[in-house]
Amino acid sequence: MGDVPDAREELDRLGRALRAQLVELITDLTPGSDLGLLFLDDPTVADWHDPLRHHYAALFRGERPASVGAADLTSRAAALLDSAGWQVTASQDGDGPRRWSVLTGRHDFGSIEIRVAHHISAVMFSGQTPALALRTPEEFTWPEPLRTPETLTPGYLLCYECDGLGACPGCGGRGWWPDQVHGRTNCRECRRQRVCAICRGAGQLAASLLSPHQRRYYSGSG
């Protein structure tokens, strides 16, 4: 496991290019927008399959100026994207007066979607960079037990649930399992708590504090 050389720099470069393009579009099409609300600060996980792939993604709502019709704004947006080298596809979402005009633009540094409402002033901008793997695939190694019969605190017993592991015995402390469809699925034993639900990560239980129910797990061992 390790960093993929230059992947983060490349992703940051894509993120900056996408941000610059979004700022240009928003400033031109919905003037007066508060660009402080355009969040493109940190890459997020786009694909949870190992190795995780990250991208920069943003969603921004602008307001169409009262003097500009939705159709005109859509044409203007298409022209701006086209002149900046984006491959633009136009479509429509819904029918009649409540429809949205939708433009999808593709470029080496990502994709942008602009949705222009005809019945309200909303103009929705969304953009995302391609998703890159920042780290090489992780080889998971099952953790060593936190407690063994030799390292028990006096007066304590190995946790009957995890046998001293401390980490969740269902997932080994990752909190998730690989999942073919979603990449990851939450561990059903610890529900992402990562530690054993019985000893809460200690690997051992105080003999004097065991409930009668818990004592039954140790019957036979003294």
Kindly list the residues in this chain that would bind Zn ion in the complex (CB under 5 A): 159, 161-162, 168, 170-171, 187, 189-190, 196, 198-199
Residue 104: Cβ-neighbour burial (10 angstroms; 0-12, 13-18, 19+)? middle
Pick between residue 137 and residue 143 the one whose CB is nearest to Zn ion. Answer: 143
Residue 145: CB minimum distance to Zn ion, A: 10
> Measured from the CB of residue 180, what is the shortest distance to Zn ion in angstroms?
19
The whole-angstrom separation of Cα 125 and Cα 91 is 15
Rounded distance between C-alpha atoms, residue 120 and residue 207, angstroms: 67
Complex with Zn ion: residue 127 or 173, whichever CB lies closer: 173
CA distance 127 to 38: 11
Task: Provide the minimum distance between the beta carbon of 199 and Zn ion in the complex, in angstroms, as a whole number.
Answer: 3
Taking the least distance from each CB to Zn ion, the nearer of 131 and 171 is 171
CB 40 within 8 A of CB 110: no
CB of 222 to Zn ion, least distance (A): 19
Of 56, 55, 51, 57, nearest to 184 by C-alpha is 51
**Taking the complex as a whole, how short is the minimal distance between the CB of residue 58 and Zn ion, in angstroms?**
33
Output 39 or 142, the one with its CB closest to Zn ion: 142
Give one word for 134, left, alpha or beta, with left for phi > 0 and alpha for psi -120 to 50.
alpha
Rank residues 126 and 193 by Cβ distance to Zn ion and give the closer one: 193
